Structure 1
Amino acid sequence: MAQLTPSEPSEVYRWPVAIALAAVICVALYLLQPILSPFVLGGLIAYLGDPLVDRLESRGVGRTLGVAVVFLLFSAIITLAIIFALPMLLHQLDALISKVPEIYRWLTQDALPWLQQRLAIPERRLPQVDWSGQLADNWQSVGKFTAQSLKRITGSGANLLLSLANLALVPVVAFYLMRDWNLLLDKALGIIPLSWQQRTSELAGEADEVVGAFLRGQFLVMCALGAIYSAGLWLVGLQLAMLLGLIAGLSSIVPYLGFMVGIVASLIAAYAQFNDWTMLLWVVLVFGVGQAVESMLLTPILVGDRIGLHPVAVIFVLMAGAQVAGFVGVVLALPVGAVIMVFLRHALQQYRSSELYGGD
């Protein structure tokens, strides 16, 4: 009977140990999900800012100083957005709430009867809703809704302290992770068995390219589309321009979903505001220009074809992440999905080149 060499047992047990370790990590993440939000958000900020810090470091700037500069840049952008954009956005959201009864009236008295007549559908009417009572009982305005939400959050001193602690942890975690990003990656690679390190480094580099293309590239595409749609709808004269542009930009996380959601919502809002069919042509023009800019400039330059996630897969992983781990799952869903796609792609290549696939 052949004897195993000393190296053979380690080769036999490496894969089971790796799989067991991955399972333990997944279970730990699931159990610790309630406290992971500041660490996930901090890690996301650190990942987005690491390339900028590396570029500053390559030009002779110290790592800590570079992190401070990038951190101040991010803080300034967030502060300006809160000061200038948030009040306008809340005002438009308040205006949208006030228009709900008018939009429902148009849907029940104009749009639905017109469709039933054109399509020869038996006439059915939507139920009448007392919107004044409904809005008064729930949230009549953004201010009232915000006040009620703050009252629920601050109703318990322990909950308030926990929320403030989690919020304060985000910049702290982001700063230290951004400063020690490369060091932490080197240490993580050093834990992996020596025979796996070269291949792991190659796969990690490819996964980083895919995740970076999505997190950085798609994020910029979403912001650019939100700005284009908001500016175009503002030029048309739509009162809810910024709100609708933001919805369309955020929905662009799924290809073409932002265009479809944005144009439908904007057409309804435009007709409810102007009651003029010709204004709808301007709305269509705005979204046509935005879609052309995205297809010809934004996506090819900022994202390219490196993500490799089908739109249906994007929807699935987002819903799966929300189901498994709530907000943390949504944040981690697409990066994890992109990494899994990289490994599955290489596993498929290995399978197709194996004797199992091509042999007798």
Structure 2
Amino acid sequence: MTLPTEPEPPAAPPTPPPPATTVAVGDSARPGGGDGILSAEGSAPPLRLMVLDQRFLAPFAALSVLLGVLWLVRGVLVPLLFVAVLTFLGAPLVARIERRGWPRSLGAGLFLLGGTLLLLGLSALVVPPLLRDVALVLERAPEALRGAVAALERLLGVTLPRTLSDLTGSASRDLLQRLSPMAEKGGALVGEGALGLARGAASAAGMLAQALLVPVITFFVLTELPGVKRVIVDVSPPRARAWGARYAPLVEESLSALVRGQLTVAALMAVLYAIGLLVSGVPAALAIAVLAGAAYLIPFASASVAFVLSAAFALLERGLGGGPAILGALITCVVVQFVEGYLLTPRIVGEKAGLSPLATLLAVLFGGTAAGFLGVLFALPVGAVLAVILREEVQRHRTSGPVPTADTASTATASSLFFSSAAPSAAEPDA
């Protein structure tokens, strides 16, 4: 006999799945609200970065590769820098001669001949007075030093040593005792000294060979420049050609203005230094002026070279009596730097080629830290190229935005701190 069982309760209906929420990236809407990842079709559209897109990163990747190659061949960078400067200076003359129907080799030869004659003329103008002034300073230096020592004795109320024995005293005997063991190794020291002299002679010979190769390489570069450009265009991929067509003219214009403008400013500064130092009565004023003008090519070095050399020559020749000449040299350096910063560089170099003072200082600091003296030499050319690329990308980002916002305004303010506002631009060509 079976007992009746209770009927089982009916099974609950299956719970329907929650509705799928669709999202969109960027400006598309999402029916479900909130943020998401996938679009309505279930596919993930590509993310669009505001600034760091492929077009923005490609120039810097190419520039990084170029800097890496330059670092590998840094031993010949100084001659190549001179070749580049001479090429920028001579290219307009060679192109003008070519347009008249004459060969480019004739224009390159005339340019190098004129440059050689100019260099010889400057050497004849500077070297003989410099040697004469140096000989005069060396002749008067002992008397000036004796006068300086006497003045210090009167000022301090002490007696200073006049000879080497007075200076060393009993310490000279101790020094001789310490040097006696080294005398036994005299042969090895002589050998090391001879090896050092041989290395120095080899280094000097290498530098002379590089200096002689500079005009030869410059001649061939000026002669074959159109062919070199065509080869570079032919071997470049289409995207690189488009990038080069956009940036190459701007970079060439910026570097040309930088090179020609800085050489012109350096020459004018040499003239100003010569006038001021001659009026101040500084010995070897003409030679110091030429060196200070050439030092303008190294950022922030011109005034230091002018004042240090002027003070050294004045003290060596006149002792403490060279104070007026030193004061005149200081006033000259201040005036020349003021004229250079507010008149010569803005009007001759031009804002279209230069960086802002802050960007110039940062470029010199980074270049000197990364590569020493070579980094300082290449700081402004590399900075000018970076300024062109950054300026174009900032301008493209600024013009592609729908509505100017606070971020756009801050970008414009930041760019004005580093870049010159009147620089050439593909988006805003010069009138």
**Structures share a fold, TM > 0.5?**
yes
Give the alignment of 1:103-118 within 5 angstroms.
none
* Superposed CA offset, 1:2-36 (max 9, x none): 8x9xxxxxxx9998887665444332221221244
1:182 is aligned to 226
Q: Give, as a single letter, the amino acid of the residue that structure 1 aligns with 2:273.
A: Y
Question: Does 2:385 align with 1:344?
Answer: no
Paired with 1:158 and 1:268, the residues of 2 have a C-alpha distance of 32
Equivalent AA in structure 1 for residue 220 of structure 2: Y
**Structure 2: which amino acid aligns with 1:51?**
P
Q: What letter is aligned with 1:241?
A: A
Counterpart of 1:213 (choices 223, 247, 257) is: 257
Quick one: structure 1 residues 358 and 101, their matched pair in 2 at CA, closer, same or farther if it must change by over 3 Å? farther
TM-score, structure 1 as length reference: 0.68
- What's 1:81 paired with? 122
CA distance in 2, matches of 1:16, 1:305: 26
1:168 counterpart residue number: 212
Paired residues of 1:38 and 1:173 also in contact (CA < 8 A): no
Aligned residue runs from structure 1 range 1-360, under 5 A: 22-92=63-133, 154-155=198-199, 159=203, 162-195=206-239, 197-253=241-297, 258-259=302-303, 262=306, 266=310, 273=318, 275=321, 290=336, 294=340, 298-355=344-401, 358=405
The one-letter code sitting in structure 2 at the alignment partner of 1:334 is L
Q: Is the 8 A contact 2:367 2:376 kept in 1?
A: yes
Residues 205-253 of structure 1: CA deviation (Å, up to 9, x unaligned):
2222222222111111112211231244224432131243234324434
Q: CA deviation at 1:348?
A: 1.9
Higher relative contact order (CA 8 A, sep 6+): 1
Deviations 1:37-79 (A, max 9, x none): 4333223222221122222223343211011100111111122
| Cα offset, 1:351, TM superposition | 3.2
Question: Would the aligned equivalents of 2:307 and 2:333 in 1 still touch at CA under 8 Å?
Answer: yes
Per-residue displacement from partner, 1:250-297 (whole Å, max 9, x unpaired)?
Answer: 443477764576467647866884837766776577557756764676
CA contact (8 A) 1:210 1:306 kept: yes
CA distance in 2, matches of 1:255, 1:163: 24
Q: Runs of 5+ in structure 1 lacking a partner? A: 5-11, 114-122, 134-150
Alignment match, 2:184: none
Identical aligned pairs, as a percentage? 27
Q: Distance in 2 between matches of 1:313 and 1:100?
A: 46
Stretches of structure 2 lacking an aligned partner (at least 5 in a row) = 1-41, 46-52, 168-194, 408-431
Contact (CA 8 Å) 1:42, 1:173: kept in 2 or not?
Answer: yes
Mapped contact 1:211–1:338 kept (Cα < 8 A): yes
With over 3 angstroms needed to count, the CA separation of the structure-2 counterparts of 1:345 and 1:322, relative to structure 1, is: same
Shift of 1:183: 2.7
In the superposition, the TM-score normalised over structure 2's length comes to 0.58
Q: Contact 1:46–1:177 at 8 Å: present in 2 too?
A: yes
Decide which structure has greater helix share. 1
Instruction: Report which stretch shifted further, 261-270 or 194-203.
Output: 261-270
Q: CA RMSD in A?
A: 4.7
Q: What's the CA shift string for 1:148-195, capped at 9, x where partnerless? A: xxx966556754553443233212211111112233233323444435
Conservation of the 8 A alpha-carbon contact between 2:255 and 2:353:
yes
Structure with the greater alpha carbon radius of gyration: 2
Question: Once the 2 structures are TM-superposed, how far is the Cα of residue 200 of structure 1 from its aligned partner?
Answer: 2.8
